[in-house]
């Protein structure tokens, strides 16, 4: 922050010096041209205004304007970075709140349940696990029985297919013998 203020001060002093020197140059230019043109009071004043206008258009303001634009761009980038940092800060703050809430819930949970209750809960979970293991074993046994029945049925199906094939071959033989008798 201090560095930024220092940069702002330097830039401001530079701009003020440049503007003052430009004003002096324009004023000298205008005074020089008005004394040449109009010796009378009002005409001199009117001509001085026109000379200021002409001198302003011909003044070299590109350098300071580029500096000014560069400074504004840097300022905009700084503002963008600040906005991003604020967004990240908000996210961290939200995460901290959620973490605090979870911590409070855990503390509340630990206060509600003493170690005796937890042992009871653990024993209950162990019993549930043992029952589930028994059920899994029972289902595995049923699955093995079904696989055995499937193997028996496959063997039976293979036998039926072989018998069908044999019967079809016998039928063809009979048909060929009948065809010979018909001739």
Q: How far is it, in rounded angstroms, from Cα 147 to Cα 140?
A: 10
pLDDT tens-digit series, residues 137-173: 888 888 888 889 888 888 888 999 999 999 999 999 9
**Count of C-beta atoms within a 10 Å radius of residue 34:** 20
**CB hemisphere CA count around 85 (13 angstroms):** 6
Q: How far is it, in rounded angstroms, from Cα 62 to Cα 108?
A: 68
Q: How far is it, in rounded angstroms, from Cα 72 to Cα 40?
A: 46
**Count of C-beta atoms within a 10 Å radius of residue 29:** 16
Q: How far is it, in rounded angstroms, from Cα 109 to Cα 27?
A: 82
Which pTM value belongs to this model?
0.30
Query: Is pLDDT at 4 greater than 80 in this prediction?
Result: no
Strand ranges inside 19-152, DSSP E: none
pLDDT tens-digit series, residues 65-90: 566 666 667 767 777 777 787 778 88
């Amino acid at each position: 922050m201090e560095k930024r203020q220092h940069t702002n001060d330097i830039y401001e002093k530079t701009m003020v010096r440049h503007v003052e020197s430009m004003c002096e140059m324009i004023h000298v230019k205008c005074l020089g041209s008005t004394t040449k043109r109009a010796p009378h009071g009002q005409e001199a004043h009117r001509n001085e205004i026109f000379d200021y206008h002409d001198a302003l258009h011909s003044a070299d303001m590109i350098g300071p304007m580029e500096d000014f634009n560069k400074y504004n761009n840097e300022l905009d980038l700084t503002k963008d970075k600040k906005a991003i940092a604020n967004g990240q800060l908000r996210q961290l703050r939200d995460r901290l709140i959620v973490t605090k809430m979870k911590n409070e819930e855990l503390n509340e949970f630990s206060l509600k349940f003493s170690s005796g209750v937890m042992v009871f809960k653990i024993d209950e979970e162990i019993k549930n696990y043992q029952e589930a293991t028994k059920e899994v074993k029972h289902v595995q046994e049923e699955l093995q029985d079904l696989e055995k029945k499937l193997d028996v049925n496959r063997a039976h199906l293979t036998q039926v297919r072989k018998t069908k094939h044999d019967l079809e071959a016998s039928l063809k033989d009979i048909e060929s013998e009948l065809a010979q008798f018909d001739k």
